[in-house]
Amino acid sequence: MNRYLFFLLMVLLFSPVVSAQESKNNIDFQAEEARRAAEENSAYRFSVSWRIEGGYIQQWENSPGKSFSDIYFHGGRIGALADLNLPYHLALQTGVQYALAYGINPQHFAAVGTGTQGAQYIEHHILKHTLSVPLRLTYEQKLWRQLAMVFYGGPQFQVGLARQDNMETSLSDATRAWIEQQGLRTSSYEQYGAGDLWRFSFQLGVGGGLQWDRYRLTAGYDFGLNNVARRQTTAQGSFVRDWNWHVSFSYRF
């Protein structure tokens, strides 16, 4: 009987101590979480992060009035980015990105004087070099441990560096002469230098993705807003917009 009384007495004595220790641990944990949150907000406010980024890009030259042929380009993009970290998991991102993309645009012609369609053609093999400077506002939402969701939006300024149109042709002399009379080319040339297109494109981009520690995977779309068609192909004028879709992987230093 004495053993049970002794055990009960010990439980009654140590229960408040254990409860107090648990309460203290809980308070310490909450204080540590508050301290970490304060440090994060302070770090966002005053720090700059650097990234190297690379990935796949698809560029689409979209002509709403079909005054130019719609062309899809496929290629790669690489660049360096800087994140100016702000409070509340926000950051202002900018940098420089270089893209190299390739597209094919086939054109078929009826032979002059015969009405035969598809026997003659010009196939444009276009290699396109561009440089872009984004200005994005990004937001990170933590999910679990070092895993976070990322969202971004903002303008992008794209400049065409070079754009070579290498042509493969199968044309009769009469058809070639008729095409050239329309002011069109039938041999390879540099399109920016010839004045076909403006080099500058102003775009508005949105996207998002996932981040784990220093690694980030994102996808997004850049919508071209201004007309890049410099040469007018119809009496009503020409309108071409330069849009981008991309998937990118980046590493933060």
Q: Are residues 111 and 65 in the same domain?
A: yes
Residues 39 and 61 in one domain: no
Measured CA to CA, the distance from residue 158 to residue 204 in angstroms comes to: 11
In what helix (H) or strand (E) does residue 251 lie, and over which residues does it extend? Answer: strand 241-252
**What's 67's domain CATH number?**
2.40.160.20
Cβ pair 203, 222 in contact under 8 A: yes
User: Residues 13, 56: one domain?
Assistant: no
Please report, in tens digits, the pLDDT of each residue of the chain (253 residues total): 566 665 566 656 655 554 555 555 556 556 666 666 555 555 445 789 999 999 999 999 887 765 567 899 999 999 999 999 999 899 999 999 999 999 998 888 776 655 555 578 889 999 999 999 999 999 999 999 899 999 999 999 999 999 999 999 888 888 888 888 877 888 899 999 998 899 999 999 999 999 999 999 999 999 999 999 887 765 556 788 999 999 999 999 9
* Domain enclosing residue 9, as ranges: 1-46
**Structural domain count of the chain:** 2
- For 7, 26, 160, the CA distances from 10, given in Å and listed in that order, are 5, 24, 81
Cα separation, 77 vs 100, whole angstroms: 7
Helix (H, G, I), strand (E, B) or coil at 113: coil
Alpha-carbon distances, residue 83 vs 48, 86, 146, 158 (angstroms): 6, 9, 18, 19
Same domain, 132 and 22: no
Distances (CA, A) of 112 to 120, 171, 183: 10, 10, 16
Q: Are 160 and 199 in contact (CB under 8 A)?
A: yes
